[in-house]
Amino acid sequence: MKVKVNKELIGHIAEVARLKLTDKEIKKFEAELREIIEKFSKLDEVDTKNIEPSLQAVELKNILREDKEGICLSQKDALSLIEHKKDGYFKGPKAV
Partner 1 sequence: MDTYEFVNKIKNNEIDIVEHTHKVIEECKKINKEYNYLNVISEELALEQAKNIKKSIKNKENIKNKKLLGVAVSVKDSICVKNVESAAGSRILKGYKPLFDATVIKKAKEQGAIIIGKTSQDEFGFGGFSVNVGLSFKIPKNPFDKQRSCGGSSGGTAGITQKASFPHIALGESTGGSIAEPSSFCGVFGLCPTYGRVSRYGLIDYANSLDKIGPMGKSLQEVALLQETISGFDQNESTTINKPADNYTDFTNKKIKNVKIGIIKEAFENIDNKVNKKTLEGIKKLEEAGVKTEEVSLKMPIKYGLATYYMLATSEASTNLAKYCGMRYGISEKLEGNFNEYFTKVRSSNFSAEAKRRIILGTFARMSGYRDAYYIKATKVRTKIVEEYKKLFKKYDALISPTVPILPPKFSEIEKLTPLQQYMIDAITVSPNVAGLPHLNVPVGFENNLPVGMLLTADHLEEGKLIQLGSLFEKN
CA distance 96 to 78: 26
- By CB atoms closer than 10 A (0-12, 13-18, 19+), residue 10 is buried
CA distance 39 to 59: 30
Range 57-76, binding partner 1 (CB under 8 A): 57-58, 60-63, 65, 73
> Is residue 88 near partner 1 by the rule CB under 8 A?
no
Q: List residues near partner 1 by CB under 8 A.
A: 1, 3, 9-10, 13-14, 16-21, 25, 29, 32-33, 35-37, 39-44, 46, 48, 51-58, 60-63, 65, 73, 77-78, 80-84, 90-95
